[in-house]
Amino acid sequence: MGGGGESTRRKGSSPKYDKTMNERATEPFTNSWGEKPRFGWEAPGGIDRAGDGPEAHVLFAPERVHEAACKGFLDEVIWLLDKAPEDGGRVGVDHLDPGGRTPLHFACGWGREDIVRALIDRGATLEVRDMWKKAPVDWALQARHDRVVEILRIAAVMRGVHGGKGRVAPLSTMTEVVSGKTDDEVETDIKEFTCGVFEEYAKRDTVPEGHTFGGKVVDPFKEEA
């Protein structure tokens, strides 16, 4: 089989696989195998993630406190936490969006130091992990907000947090939680593995051209003098 009339099917497939891959891929709410994807075309709030407008590809409709935290609206964040009517908008300091993210995630990811401090002063949990296993400190690291990382680490020490052993100790990064190793240890593992692959190629005399010098394998991570 093949060509434009492709009719790829899985063995023992149900009737939903009778259509071609192209036909299945263009049907709403399904992937190319005719299955419902993890996230639908439409995000909560009726946002069409498949469009090309300003809200395209939005995974979750933004909630007011999270949006205020990421945009740096300190007064609005404080009002929503402390002053809004309990039946009219007030939220908890660890209020979660559908992705498991707190206001602290957004404030850290956008480097809003004043809001980070305000949330911490109100008892925000430092290591709430979203659906991708990321804590606020991971967001700050990813965006290279070093001052925010420092603020979080100081707060963690003052609260007696322990467990992390890497660059953000006593907090733990997503890498530590998932792999049990620090980011630096994972980077070392990757380097050792890559060098080992090049050495194996050298033994087989199949090292790609440009990767050897004088019969020796060149360390791919080391700059030449």
Residues 90-106: tens digit of each pLDDT: 999 999 998 899 999 99
The Cα–Cα gap between 169 and 175 comes to 13
What mean pLDDT do residues 123-139 have?
Answer: 95
Residue pointed to by tokens 């979750």? 60
pLDDT of residue 88: 77
3-state secondary structure 51-104: CCCCCCCCCCCCCHHHHHHHHCCHHHHHHHHHHCCCCCCCCCCCCCCCCCCCHH
Residue pointed to by tokens 């050298």? 202
SS3 47: strand
What mean pLDDT do residues 57-68 have?
Answer: 80
Where in the chain are the domains? 10-46, 64-179, 183-217
Per the model's pLDDT, the better-predicted residue between 126 and 19 turns out to be: 126
| 64-179: in CATH 3.30.70.20 | no
Percentage of the chain with pLDDT > 90? 47
- Provide the pLDDT confidence category of residue 174 given band limits of 50, 70 and 90: very high
Residue pointed to by tokens 């003098």? 225
What mean pLDDT do residues 163-184 have?
Answer: 92
The Cα–Cα gap between 130 and 98 comes to 9
